[in-house]
Amino acid sequence: MKKKFLLLLLGLCFGIFPLKTWGVTGPYVSVDTAHRKITITNDTSVKDYAVYTLEFDNKIKDLQVVRLTRAGSSYYLVMTRTNKKVRLILYDEQVNKISSKLINVIYHQKNWGYAKLSPKTIDNTKILEIKILKLNKNAKPLSLVLQRYTISPDQEQIFKRTEKKEENIVVPNVSDNDDDTASLKLLNYQRQASGLLPVKHNESLDAGCALHVEYLRLNDILTHGEDINKQGYTEEGAEAGMASDLAAQSNKKFANAIPLWFTAIYHRFPMIDNGLQGVGWAVSAQSNIGYYYKCLNVYGDKEYGVITVAGRAVDTTFYNVDNFEPIAFPGRGQIQVDPIFDSGESPDPIADFSGSYPVGQPISLTFSDNQTVSTMKISLKDNQGNNVTGYARVPNDPNDPNSIYQGNSVSFIAEQPLNNNTKYTVSVSGKVNNQDYQTSWKFTTW
C-alpha cells in the first residue's frame, strides 16, 4: 500500500504561542546575544527605577539567564558559552557578581555546540540542568553532556553538581524497544545528528492526537482540519490536527513514520526546529480501508524567539532561540542515511520541476528566521567528485509554489536515488545578513 503524508499549514499555528511570561511582575530581563549583553530593568512597582547591564566579551557564542529565588531573595544565574568553555555566573538582585564556576572545558580538536540552561524541580529540590552537545573539529555532533547543579547562595559551596552523564550520539538500535521508546529515540537521534538538543515526550499532547487520528479513521481521510458535521469531530482533535505532522500507513508501529517524516522534507522542518521542546503522538486502530493514521504534534510544546528573549518570569530561561548554527540534514558526518525519497508527500516538493519518483534523500540547511538569506547556491558531489544533478530550492523564491513550507531553508533533491554506501559532500554558499557565507559537510548513505 502506498505511503501517504499530508503537510500541516504552518501559518495556521501561530495562535498557540505559549505566552508564559504574561501577568508576571518583577524585574524585566532581556537577552541580546548579538551584542553579548543582558539588560535587567527594575520598574517602579518593584523598587526605585534602575537599569542594570551586563556585557560580555566577543568570544561568547551564547548567553542564557534564569531569574531565580532562594530563601526569599532574588538572583540571576547566567550561562555563557564559547567554543571551548561553559561557565555559570551568579549575580544578586542589584547585579553584583557573587560567584562563577567553569563547568565545562574542552581541548584538542573538539568544540562545544548548542546548549540549554533549564530550571527544574526534582524530588522537591530546585536544580539547574545544562544540556550541551560536544562536536568534533568538523562540527559533527559526538555526544550529549548533561549536568545538574543546585544553587545555594548562602552556602560555602554555591554551585554543587548533583549529576553528570555523557551519551554518545550513535544510530539507535530500537529492535528491542517498545513503540513509544523507539519513536522518541529515532526522533532524537536525528535531531542530535543535525546539531540540536533532544526533545521530551510531552504526554499532555497525546490526547489531542488520539482524538484526531480517530476522526481520520472513522472518515478514512487524511486532513489536518476537522468538519464539525463529520463523525468523530472534536475541538481538541481539530486543534491537534492543525499542529501536527500526519501520515497514513499500512503498518501500525508509530516508529515507522518517524524516518519517513524526516525524509519528506516539508514534514522534516518542524521536527528539526530549534525551539521544539516536546512532542506528543498517537496512532489509530486500523481503518476500513486498511490504514493506521498517525499524528505527531510538533507545535504544542515549542518555544518562540518573541517569547524567550525577554520577560519577568521566575524560574524561566531567557535566551535567543534563534541563536543557532544552520541546521544540516543529513547531519555533518552522519552515517547510514537513507538514499531514497519514494514519494507520498503533499504538497509534492518536486512537482513544479516535473520530476518523478523515486529521487534522492532531500538535503537541507536551515537558517534562523531572523537571518536574511540571499543569492544561495547548493550543490552535491559523490565520492568521485562528480556533480549530482537535482532540484534546488532557496528561501523566498517567488517561483516556488511551496515557499511557505520551504521557510528559511536551502534544499537539494537529487533527480535519482543516491548510491548506497557512498560518501557525499554538500556545499552551500551565498549571503547571510549581507555577509558572504559558505559551508560544506559530508554524509554517508547506507
Residue 209 makes CB contacts below 8 A (sequence gap 6+) with 240, 244, 280, 281, 282, 295, 296, 297
Residue 246 makes CB contacts below 8 A (sequence gap 6+) with 5, 6, 8, 216, 222, 223, 224, 293, 294, 295, 296
What's the CA gap between 212 and 227, in Å, rounded?
A: 11
Strands (E), 106-231: 110-122, 125-136, 141-151, 159-168, 200-201
Strands (E), 334-397: 340-341, 359-360, 363-366, 373-381, 390-393
Q: Mind listing the pLDDT tens digit of every residue in the chain (446 residues)?
A: 455 665 544 433 433 333 444 456 778 999 999 999 999 998 655 555 678 999 999 999 999 999 999 998 999 999 999 999 999 999 998 899 999 999 999 988 899 999 999 999 999 899 999 999 999 999 999 999 999 999 999 999 999 999 999 999 999 999 999 999 999 999 999 999 999 999 999 999 999 999 999 999 999 999 999 999 999 999 999 999 999 999 999 999 999 999 999 999 999 999 999 999 999 999 999 999 999 999 999 999 999 877 899 998 999 999 999 999 999 999 999 999 999 999 789 899 999 999 999 999 999 999 999 899 999 999 999 999 999 999 999 999 999 999 999 999 999 999 999 999 999 999 999 999 999 999 999 999 99
Instruction: Render pLDDT for 40-69 as a digit per residue (tens, 0 to 9).
Output: 998 655 555 678 999 999 999 999 999 999
Residue type, 5: F
Whole-prediction pTM: 0.93
- Which residue is associated with the grid cell 555563557? 80
Which run of H or E residues covers position 236?
A: helix 235-241
Residue 132 makes CB contacts below 8 A (sequence gap 6+) with 81, 86, 104, 112, 113, 114, 115, 116, 144, 145
Which run of H or E residues covers position 248?
A: strand 244-249
Residue type, 233: Y
Do 404 and 410 contact (CB within 8 A), yes or no? no
- Which residue is associated with the grid cell 509534492? 348
Q: What is the dihedral of CA 261, 264, 270, 272, to 10 degrees?
A: 80
Question: What does the block give as the cell for 299?
Answer: 507545535
Do 168 and 142 contact (CB within 8 A), yes or no? yes
Report all structural domains of the chain as residue ranges with CATH numbers, in order of start: 28-168 (no CATH), 180-309 (3.40.33.10), 327-444 (2.60.40.3780)
Measured distance between the N- and C-terminal CA atoms of the chain, rounded to whole angstroms: 24
SS3 of residue 193 by DSSP: helix
Question: What does the block give as the cell for 393?
Answer: 530550492
Residue type, 247: A
Strand order in 435-444's β-sheet? Answer: 373-381, 423-432, 435-444
What's the CA gap between 91 and 112, in Å, rounded?
A: 24
Q: In Å, what is the CA distance from 6 to each residue of 9, 213, 255, 339?
A: 9, 13, 17, 22
Which run of H or E residues covers position 259?
A: helix 257-263
Instruction: Render pLDDT for 128-182 as a digit per residue (tens, 0 to 9).
Output: 999 999 999 999 999 999 999 999 999 999 999 999 999 999 999 999 999 999 9
Do 415 and 390 contact (CB within 8 A), yes or no? yes
What's the CA gap between 116 and 131, in Å, rounded?
A: 5
Which run of H or E residues covers position 305?
A: helix 305-308
Strands 85-92 and 73-81: antiparallel
Of how many residues is the chain composed? 446
Residue type, 119: P
